């Protein structure tokens, strides 16, 4: 069967150059522990530091400011927790947004139970925080602002540079989750005026289980989560994931070097996908910002259909998409991102996310447009919501009440 992968925000395939570089550190004599002083250790240590140089260069940082982690989730946890606990004497207030990835949202919520005060800023209908809300939320107790660069579910790009400027002028530490933006739009820590920034390997055509955290020199931050050895200059204990880190270095280098060309290509594909979907299928809305969005990101809500049903029907036709993280964790709640954008419950249930990658071709969009309209037509014909408009407009979650597939984990 023809298989089309339209889920690059969930994960990406590994670039062949990255896999090749990684394999070098899984074979032969490249197995040393980088902490060891002997030949085997030194050899690997050198490669590890070269990888650090590459990651640093890709985001405009210096090598000492890069800490390797197990991925975006760990980077987010480490950034937020580390700032919170080393600035307790200054204050206990943390500001974030309602549309953050759970790696950020659940971390600040956990801190909320440990004596920190958390402000979760609302977003506008495009999923964007308002600058005046950020400014008004800052108090003399504020120690950290953590707001993502680009949203994974709706692709909206936040005004990070402006927030960075504001945070700096108010003496507040600023972290951004750049897991989705890195490799697709410019990410430069000095241009964005951020103090901490998270990236992940598997979202940039690298392997899973490796990431990095940028910590600006002089930032009040300390290691709080992993107790152990002195690796990563006491910032992240545990023997380094050498093959993963080597891969992260190459993936970051390629992400930065190819960003402009690849993004231009992806944007062309994405625009044709958006115009075809909204032009040829009725009662569809683009979610997220129409212009300030990731170049590879298209997300929609289809009235009166369930995202999960679309996803499963598409999968049967060989198309891999995502339902915008609705119904994850086995709960009946639709995506927190869509709800906080003011999209009604029953509409949010009909969300689907199509995220393109460098291997996608224009033919993939054509194939999608062959299979999608009949799927929508069939599901709408079956939908009790489609017949009962009044019921669907009810703010109680109508879709939840009639759905059975939604309860899957």
Ligand X SMILES: *Cc1c(COP(=O)(O)O)cnc(C)c1O
Q: Which of 155, 183, 207, 211 binds ligand X (CB under 6 A)?
A: 211
Helix runs in 140-196, H state only: 160-169
**Segment near ligand X (CB under 6 A); pick from 107-115, 116-124, 126-134, 175-183:** 175-183
Could you give the CA distance from residue 43 to residue 36 in angstroms, rounded to a whole number?
10
Structure tokens at 209: 């289980």
Shortest Å, Cβ 398 to ligand X:
30
Q: Is 149 in a helix, a strand, or coil?
A: coil
Of 311 and 400, which has the nearer Cβ to ligand X? 311
Q: Which of 61, 179, 273, 298 binds ligand X (CB under 6 A)?
A: 179
The DSSP 8-state label assigned to residue 320 in this structure reads: E
Distance, CA of 288 to chain centre:
14
Q: Which of 203, 216, 336, 380 binds ligand X (CB under 6 A)?
A: 203
With residue 196 as reference, give the H or E element that holds it: strand 196-200
Per CB under 6 A, 180 contacts ligand X: yes
Of 199 and 314, which has the nearer Cβ to ligand X? 199
Upper half-sphere CA count for residue 45 (Cβ side, 13 Å): 12
Q: How many residues bind ligand X (CB under 6 A)?
A: 15
* Cα angle value 32/34/38 (rounded, 5°): 65
Shortest Å, Cβ 115 to ligand X:
25
Per CB under 6 A, 294 contacts ligand X: no
Shortest Å, Cβ 122 to ligand X:
19
406 catalytic per annotation: no
Q: Which of 327, 397, 400, 406 is catalytic?
A: 327
Shortest Å, Cβ 82 to ligand X:
17
Shortest Å, Cβ 405 to ligand X:
24
Q: What is the end-to-end Cα distance of the chain in Å, rounded?
A: 27
Binding mask 51-90 vs ligand X (x if CB under 6 A, - otherwise)?
Answer: --------------------xxx--x--------------
Q: Which of 12, 77, 152, 309 binds ligand X (CB under 6 A)?
A: 152
**Segment near ligand X (CB under 6 A); pick from 199-207, 230-238, 353-361, 399-407:** 199-207
DSSP secondary structure of 357-403: -TT--HHHHHHHHHHHHHHHHHHHHH-HHHH-HHHHTSSS-HHHHH-
Shortest Å, Cβ 249 to ligand X:
16
Structure tokens at 360: 């996608």
Could you give the CA distance from residue 269 to residue 292 in angstroms, rounded to a whole number?
16
CB 332 within 8 A of CB 397: yes
CA-based torsion, 177, 179, 180, 181: positive or negative: positive
Shortest Å, Cβ 71 to ligand X:
3
C-alpha radius of gyration, the chain, whole number: 22
Binding mask 84-123 vs ligand X (x if CB under 6 A, - otherwise)?
Answer: -----------------x-x--------------------
Residue 337 to residues 16, 97, 106: CA-CA distances in angstroms?
34, 10, 14
Q: Which of 7, 177, 193, 232 binds ligand X (CB under 6 A)?
A: 177
- The residue with its CB nearest to ligand X is 72
Q: Which residues are catalytic?
A: 327
Which residues sit at the interface with ligand X, rule CB under 6 A? Answer: 71-73, 76, 101, 103, 148, 152, 177, 179-180, 200, 202-203, 211
């Amino acid at each position: 069967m023809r298989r089309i992968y339209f889920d690059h925000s969930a994960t990406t395939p590994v670039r062949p150059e990255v896999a090749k570089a990684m394999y070098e550190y899984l074979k032969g004599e490249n197995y040393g522990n980088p902490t060891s002083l002997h030949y085997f250790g030194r050899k690997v240590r050198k490669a590890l530091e070269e990888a650090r140089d590459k990651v640093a260069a890709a985001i405009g940082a210096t090598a000492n400011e890069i800490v390797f982690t197990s991925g975006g989730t760990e980077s987010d946890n480490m950034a937020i927790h580390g700032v919170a606990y080393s600035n307790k004497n200054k204050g206990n207030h943390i500001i974030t947004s309602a549309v953050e990835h759970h790696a950020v949202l659940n971390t600040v919520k956990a801190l909320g139970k440990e004596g920190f005060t958390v402000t979760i800023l609302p977003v506008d209908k495009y999923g964007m925080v308002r600058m005046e809300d950020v400014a008004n939320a800052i108090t003399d107790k504020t120690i950290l602002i953590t707001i993502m660069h680009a949203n994974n579910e709706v692709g909206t790009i936040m005004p990070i540079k402006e927030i960075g400027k504001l945070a700096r002028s108010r003496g507040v530490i600023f972290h951004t989750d750049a897991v989705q933006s890195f490799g697709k739009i410019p990410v430069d820590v000095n241009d964005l005026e951020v103090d901490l920034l998270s990236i992940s390997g598997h979202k940039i055509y690298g392997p899973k289980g490796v990431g990095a955290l940028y910590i600006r020199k002089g930032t009040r931050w300390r290691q709080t989560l992993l107790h152990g050895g002195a690796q990563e200059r006491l910032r992240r204990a545990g023997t380094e994931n050498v093959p993963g880190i080597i891969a992260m270095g190459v993936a970051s280098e390629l992400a930065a070097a190819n960003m402009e060309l690849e993004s231009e290509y992806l944007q062309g594909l994405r625009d044709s996908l958006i115009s075809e979907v909204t032009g040829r299928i009725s009662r569809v809305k683009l979610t997220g910002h129409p212009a300030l969005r990731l170049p590879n990101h298209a997300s929609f809500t289809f009235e009166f259909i369930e995202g999960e049903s679309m996803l499963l029907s598409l999968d049967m036709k060989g198309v891999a998409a995502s339902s915008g993280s609705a119904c994850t964790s086995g709960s009946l709640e639709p995506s927190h991102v869509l709800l906080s954008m003011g999209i009604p419950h029953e509409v949010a249930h009909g969300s689907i996310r199509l995220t393109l990658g460098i291997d996608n071709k224009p033919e993939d969009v054509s194939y999608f447009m062959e299979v999608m309209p009949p799927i929508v037509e069939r599901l709408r014909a079956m939908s009790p919501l489609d017949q009962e408009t009044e019921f669907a407009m009810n703010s109680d979650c109508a879709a939840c009440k009639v759905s059975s597939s939604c309860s899957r984990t």
